[in-house]
Amino acid sequence: MDKGPVLLHLEKVTEHYAELLYSHLSDVRLYEYLEDNIPILSDLKQKFKFAALEKSPDNDTMIWLKWVVIVPQQQYVGVVEIGIFDDAYAEIGFMTFVDFQNRGYAPVYCSRAIALARSRFDFPALYASVNEQNHASRKVVEKLGFELYNVNKNAEFVKGKLSDELIYRLTFS
């Protein structure tokens, strides 16, 4: 496979993306390492409506930045989000849609999302919470320069058993 430059762009999530992305976001394979349930379309629309306003649907003090990742062929590759809390704590989350996994997209789009967020907001560090079993996401955050910060033992129930939640941190100087 060609490892040349990855061409993609980020677009701010708006409510209309809910229907466009639903077939990707309802793929059971994306939730293998998550405690989240597959969303229903109406819930996804509501969440995307809040995301368009840069607000969290369940935290009044959080700024919620969310983008859809698109390649030049107008294919949707994934989503990335950064939540910034009033105490300057910030956390990133991302999902690469199944047909686009293992192609090198995630580090590129996460890096762009971080740059966009940092151009607008000042936060001293960015955190990522990753299930210990999710080796692909661990590789992505490590490639971005995140370092293991904390381990929450048996914090998640995934694949029918308890597993550790790994907290990674990327510090900005």
Which CATH number belongs to the domain containing residue 14 in this structure?
3.40.630.30
What's the rounded Cα separation, in Å, for the pair 106 and 96? 7
Backbone angles phi, psi at 110, to 5 degrees: -65, -40
Q: Is 65 part of a structural domain of the chain?
A: yes
Quick check: is 134 in a domain? no
| Averaged confidence pLDDT in the chain | 92
Confidence (pLDDT) at 31:
84
Integer CA distances (angstroms), 134 to 46, 48, 142, in order: 28, 25, 12
Q: What is the pTM assigned to this prediction?
A: 0.91
Which residues span the domain enclosing 49? Answer: 9-123
> Which pLDDT belongs to residue 4?
54
> Per the structure block, which two tokens stand in for 43?
């819930």
Specify the number of domains making up the chain: 1
pLDDT beyond 70 at 58? yes
* 169 within a domain of the structure (yes/no): no
For residue 35, being part of any structural domain is answered with yes
Please report whether residue 39 resides in a domain. Answer: yes
The full 3-state SS of the chain, as one line of letters, equals CCCCCCCCEEEECCCCHHHHHHHHHCCHHHHCCCCCCCCCHHHHHHHHHHHHCCECCCCCCCEEEEEEEECCCCCEEEEEEEEECCCCCEEEEEEECHHHCCCCHHHHHHHHHHHHHHHHCCCCEEEEEEECCCHHHHHHHHHCCCEEEEEEEEEEEECCEEEEEEEEEEECC
Integer Cα distance of 48 and 157 in angstroms: 26
Alpha-carbon distance of 18 to 46, in angstroms, equals: 9
Answer whether residue 130 is part of any domain: no
Alpha-carbon Rg for the chain, nearest whole angstrom, is 16
The pLDDT confidence band at residue 60, using thresholds 50, 70 and 90, is confident
In this prediction, residue 37 has a pLDDT band, given cuts at 50, 70 and 90, of confident
* Residues in a beta bridge with 76: 70
**Residue at 164 is within a domain:** no
